[in-house]
Amino acid sequence: MNNHCSTSCSGCSTVIRSLSVQFSGRKALSDIDLSFSCGELTAIIGPNGGGKTSILKSILGEIPYSGKIDFCISSGKKKPRIGYLPQKIAVQKDSPVSVCDFLLLSEGYPFTWLRVSKKRREMKIKQLGIVSAENLIDRRIGELSGGELQRVLLAASINPVPDILLLDEPVTALDSKGIDIFYELICSLRKKFHMTILVVSHDIGAISKHADKMYLINEKVITHGTPSEVLSSRDFRREMGEVYFRLSGAKSDHHVYGGL
C-alpha cells in the first residue's frame, strides 16, 4: 500500500443512496449505493456504457436522477464545491480563449474583456505551477496538445479548492509516464487539501496503484473494496473479461497492467 496516501479523517463521507438514472427509457444506473470518504481516492471502473459517467453527472446535478446524494462538507457550507474534469472536451481549434482567460472564467471571474491585472496574472501562473504548466499561460486553448489541455483543465478544476473532485477518464491523452506523474499530482493534492476524489477510468492498471477504494459498476454495484480485493474477485473476471483477470492474477497484488 506504499503508493496510497490516504488522509481520511474517517469522520465525513459523501453518501449516495439508491441512485437511479435513466436515458430515454434505458436504465443507466439502477438503485445503487455508494460512499466516498474525504481524503480518499475512489476509483470507479466498469465496462463501457455501464453508467460510470452517469454517477459523476448525477453528483454534478447535470442529469436528472432519483435517489439521494448526501455530501460531506467540512466547512459548514450548504452546497459542496465540486471540481470537475470532463471526459471529452472538444475545444474549437480556432477558439480565441487563452489559458489565462480560461482559468479566470472557470473560477467565475466575469471581466475578461478588461486588461488582466498583473497581480491576477501572477496568481494564475502560480495556479498553473501546481500542474507544471506555467509556460502555457498565454497560449490559446485551441492550440494545446491533449496532455497540455488536460493539465490546464485540472488546474482549473482545483481552483477554488473543491470539496469533491470528479475526474472522468483523466489520463486518456497521456502516455504511461505522464499517467504516473498525473496520479502522483492528484495524490499530493489530496494530501494537501484533504478532498474527496472520484476517478472514472479505463486504465485499471494505473489507477489501482493509487486508489484507496474501488467500485466496479455495471448498472449496479457489482463489487467494491480495495483495488486488490476488487481485481481478484470473481465478479471482476466476469464483467471485465479473462484478459484483465489473468493479468491481475499474474501480478498478485494490485499491480495490474490493464487498459488493453
Partner 1 sequence: MQFWYAIIEMLPFEWTEYGFMKTALLAVMIISPAIALTGTMVVGNRMSFFSHVIGHSALTGLAVGLLFSAADPTPVMILFAVILAVAINIFLSVTKADGDTVMGVFASATTALGIALLSRGGSFSKYTVYLIGDILSINASEIGYLAVILAAVILFWVFLSGRISLISVEPSLLYGKIINPFIVKTAFSILVALIVILSIKWVGILIINSLFILPAAAARIHAKNLRTYFVLSAFIGLISGIAGLMISYYTESSCGAAVVLVSAGIYAISVLLKHIRRSI
Q: What residues line the site for partner 1 (CB under 8 A)?
A: 57, 60-62, 81-84, 86, 89-92, 94-98, 100-102, 104-106, 108-116, 138, 140-141, 156
> Closer to partner 1 at the Cβ: 76 or 96?
96
The minimum distance between CB 187 and partner 1, in angstroms, equals 23
Q: How far apart are CA 243 and CA 249, in angstroms?
A: 10
User: Rounded CA gap, 212 and 39, in Å?
Assistant: 10
Q: Which residue has the cell 484533504?
A: 194
Q: Closer to partner 1 by CB, 57 or 224: give it.
A: 57
Minimal distance in Å, beta carbon 218 to partner 1? Answer: 23
Cell numbers at residue 215, please?
A: 467500485
Least distance CB 100 / partner 1 (angstroms): 7
Classify strands 26-37 and 164-168 as parallel, antiparallel or unpaired.
unpaired
Q: Residue 95 CB, nearest distance to partner 1 (Å)?
A: 7
For the CB of residue 113, give the shortest distance to partner 1 in the complex, in Å. 5
Q: Which residue is it, cell 499474474? A: 250
Closer to partner 1 by CB, 84 or 182: give it.
84
Nearer to partner 1, 170 or 258 (CB): 170
- The distance of closest approach from Cβ of residue 93 to partner 1 in the complex, given in angstroms and rounded to an integer, is 10
In the complex with partner 1, the residue whose CB is nearer, 137 or 247, is 137
Min dist CB 97 to partner 1, Å, is: 6
Considering beta carbons, is residue 73 or 181 the nearer one to partner 1?
73
Closest CA relative to residue 215, chosen from 230, 196, 194, 234: 230
Query: Whose Cβ is closer to partner 1: residue 102's or residue 182's?
Result: 102
